[in-house]
Amino acid sequence: MSNSFELCVGPIHPALKEPIKLDFTVEGERVKGVSFSLGQVHRAIEWAATKRNPIQVLYMAERICGICNMCHPMAFSMAVENAANIEVPERAEYIRTINVELERIHSHILWAGVAAHELGFDSVMHYTWRVREKVLDIIEYLNGNRITKGILMVGGVRRDIQEKDYGKVREALDYYKELYAKLEGIMLNDASVRARTKDIGILTKKNALELCAVGPTARASGVKKDVRVDWPYAAYPDLDIKPVLPETAGFKATGDTYTRIIVRLLEIKQSIDLIEQCLDKMKPGPILAEPVLQKLLVQLKNVQGEGVAFQEAPRGELIHYIKMTGQESPYAWKVRAPTYANLPPLVPMLSECEIADIPIIVASIDPCMSCTNRAIITDKGNSVLSMDDLRELSIRKTLAMQKEASK
Amino acid sequence: MNAAQVIESFRKEFPGIEISLAEQGAGRHKKVQVWATVAVKDFKNAVKHLFTIQEYPHFSVSSGSDIGKEIEIINHFVLNYGEPGEQVPFHLKVKLPKGNPVMDSITGLFPGAVISEQEKMEMLGIKIEGVPKKRVFTDESMPAGIYPWRKDDKGPEKIARNLHEGEGK
């Protein structure tokens, strides 16, 4: 008689409040195989775009993801600008860069909180989410909104950053510089976090390459790939930037959950530096290639061609493809968010892990699908584990390890 | 190998290939992309040829659209990543006749391409040899034989609730 049985996690995910269905084959506590099903929140947004003009699509793009609400409209704009051969004014490129780097800071801090929650450290989750408020405040101060800001426009941005506001931005950056050591101490030096993440959920460099991993997930496995460096867009050609690899901080690129934490933490520091560089280097100038919306719409209506844009979103390479055929609406639009690429790498990461490690491993790729909050795990004997039960397993493992370590 | 050399290499290996360079910006802000179209029979070999340019090229995703009598599939690759400023996006197109929309899979070369290939089968009604047909993104209530990205009678227009038509009214 086989000792293996099936576990179905989802379609509402236990780890990240994001819908995905994972089917595990387990033997005792050990995961032997995994497959996944997507699409629980597919909104046919690419199809809907073919019924709207590019400016309307811009606002739809902003709503693809609540966290990357600057990256998506920016990648969409870049794809349209590529198809229409529109040159974005230099100052607008800097403002775009500042905003996407602020977005990276808030995304990575948010993620640190989620990861801590999955390990059972809710005090750390509350701490990280509290300090994340500062970056959201500065985003609101600059753009008028914390989440969907509506400042992107094809050919530039709709709102300038006044020189008198630079001080406020620097003040927020200083705030993060001061607390960075504390954040690093919690996430990298805490014995329990180390024990729960080191050598857990390993993605080898070979697997990362074959499975087309992107972003911090790929870099933690030693794949030197960062769109900002390799194909510099926006203001990045003017900035001093190198891809963040675990080696940057003297660690080995083992591709485990711990190295993925290292990469994201270092990227917070990198984003602070990049924003400071932008503030130092940006010069006064126009912020829109075509300030009159009606003229822009007419210009876009006449575009016949295709455009592709690559961008380094917080979770990795983001790509938008657009096809325009001289009509009011795009003929085709394809969005590939980083999580789409980082799901196949989950399979080797989860292979041979313990059930209690599933939440933190899945969280370690920082998956982003949508936001809901429910989970059911069931085996063939119809026993049911709720999300809380699964998290309880994870917490119990942390406590057991702490107890073991204190002996 | 820079973009011009990539083009040269493909022209040598696949005579008759449609391949061109698209440039945007100037100076340090200049960005290049390569667009190519190959015959369906040459598609897999063209993808294999990318491995002669970089040890492990990156596959980003494939996109596609219904262009009338054919289905156009565009595979978006990235070459020279890891080299500052040297990345060459490479977009490889194939056009599949609607009467027989079949193409080779590249999952043997890029195992990570499986979701992308299944999505194209699901959204455009094409067949990719060796890839199991599976619903990835659409709900089970989507009728069989309807493909969301098709513009012909196999498209979703008949079943779609065109909410946008009520906008502004």
Domains of chain B in start order, with CATH, are 3-153 (3.30.460.80)
pLDDT of residue B167: 57
Q: Coil, strand, or helix at residue A373? A: coil
Structure tokens at B120: 């194209």
Which among A35, A202, A183, A175 is positioned nearest to A111, based on CA atoms? A183
Q: Which of residues 78-97 of B touch A (CB under 8 A)?
A: 78, 80-87, 89, 91
- Which band of pLDDT confidence, cut at 50, 70 and 90, is reported for residue A372? very low
| C-beta atoms of A48 and B114 within 8 A | no
pLDDT of residue B165: 60
Q: For A133-149, what is the mean pLDDT? A: 93
Nearest CA in chain B to A320: B63
pLDDT digits (tens, 9 = 90+) for A222-258: 999 999 999 999 999 999 999 999 998 899 999 999 9
- How many whole angstroms separate alpha carbon B8 and alpha carbon A395? 58
Nearest CA in chain A to B164: A51
Which among A1, A21, A25 is positioned nearest to A12, based on CA atoms? A21
pLDDT of residue B140: 79
Average pLDDT of chain A, as a whole number: 88
Q: Which segment of A115-119, A269-273, B146-150, B159-163 scores lowest on mean pLDDT?
A: B159-163
- How many whole angstroms separate alpha carbon A58 and alpha carbon B36? 28
Q: Between A5 and B139, where is the model more confident?
A: A5
Residues A183, A187, A191, A193, Cα dihedral to 10°: 150
Q: For A184-212, what is the mean pLDDT? A: 92
pLDDT of residue B162: 60
pLDDT of residue A378: 36
Structure tokens at A206: 């070979």
Q: In the predicted model, is pLDDT for residue A78 greater than 70? A: yes
pLDDT of residue A369: 60
CB-nearest partner of B76 from A52, A213, A319: A319
- How many whole angstroms separate alpha carbon A191 and alpha carbon A208? 27
Q: What is the ipTM of this complex?
A: 0.93
What does the buried/exposed string (b/e) look like for A328-347 if buried means 16 or more CB atoms within 10 Å of the residue's CB?
ebbbbbbbbbbbbbbbbbbb
Interface A-B, measured as beta-carbon pairs within 8 A, has a size of 122
Q: In the predicted model, is pLDDT for residue A171 greater than 80? A: yes
Q: Which of residues 97-156 of B touch A (CB under 8 A)?
A: 110-116, 135-139, 148-149, 156
- How many whole angstroms separate alpha carbon A217 and alpha carbon B1? 27
C-beta of residue A323 within 8 angstroms of C-beta of residue A188? no
pLDDT of residue A178: 94
- Contact residues, chain A, for B156 at CB < 8 Å: 44, 47
Gyration radius of chain A's alpha carbons? 22
pLDDT of residue A31: 87
- How many whole angstroms separate alpha carbon A311 and alpha carbon B143? 35
pLDDT of residue A14: 60
CB-nearest partner of A344 from B63, B76, B111: B111
C-beta of residue A176 within 8 angstroms of C-beta of residue A135? yes
- How many whole angstroms separate alpha carbon A403 and alpha carbon A36? 35
- Which band of pLDDT confidence, cut at 50, 70 and 90, is reported for residue A387? low
pLDDT of residue A210: 95
Highest mean pLDDT, choosing among A62-66, A334-338, B72-76, B148-152: B72-76
CB-nearest partner of B61 from A213, A242, A319: A319
Which of A46, A97, A221, A308 to mutate to probe the B interface, most B CBs <10 Å? A308
- How many whole angstroms separate alpha carbon A38 and alpha carbon A189? 35
- Contact residues, chain B, for A82 at CB < 8 Å: 22, 24, 33
- Contact residues, chain A, for B65 at CB < 8 Å: 323, 331-332
pLDDT of residue A358: 87
How distant is the Cα of A224 from the closest Cα of chain B, in angstroms?
A: 5
Nearest CA in chain A to B85: A230
C-beta of residue B96 within 8 angstroms of C-beta of residue B41? no
- The helix (H) or strand (E) run that includes residue A178 is helix A166-184
pLDDT of residue A383: 47
Nearest CA in chain A to B32: A231
pLDDT of residue A36: 75
Nearest CA in chain B to A79: B24
- Phi-psi label, residue A5: left if phi above 0, alpha if psi -120 to 50, beta otherwise: beta
C-beta of residue A380 within 8 angstroms of C-beta of residue A6? yes
- The DSSP symbol for B27 reads G
pLDDT of residue A16: 54
| C-beta atoms of A212 and B148 within 8 A | no
- How many whole angstroms separate alpha carbon A58 and alpha carbon A109? 26
DSSP states along A35-96: EEE--TT---HHHHHTTS-HHHHHHHHTTS-SSSTTHHHHHHHHHHHHHHTPPPPHHHHHHH
Q: In the predicted model, is pLDDT for residue A388 greater than 90? A: no
Domains of chain A in start order, with CATH, are 4-38+374-406 (no CATH), 45-340 (1.10.645.10)
Gyration radius of chain B's alpha carbons? 18
Tens digit of pLDDT per residue, chain B (169 long)?
A: 999 999 999 999 999 899 999 988 777 788 899 999 999 999 999 999 999 999 999 999 999 999 999 999 999 999 999 999 999 999 999 999 999 999 999 999 999 998 899 999 999 999 999 888 777 888 777 888 999 999 999 988 877 766 556 555 5
Positions of E strands within A135-214: 152-153, 156-157
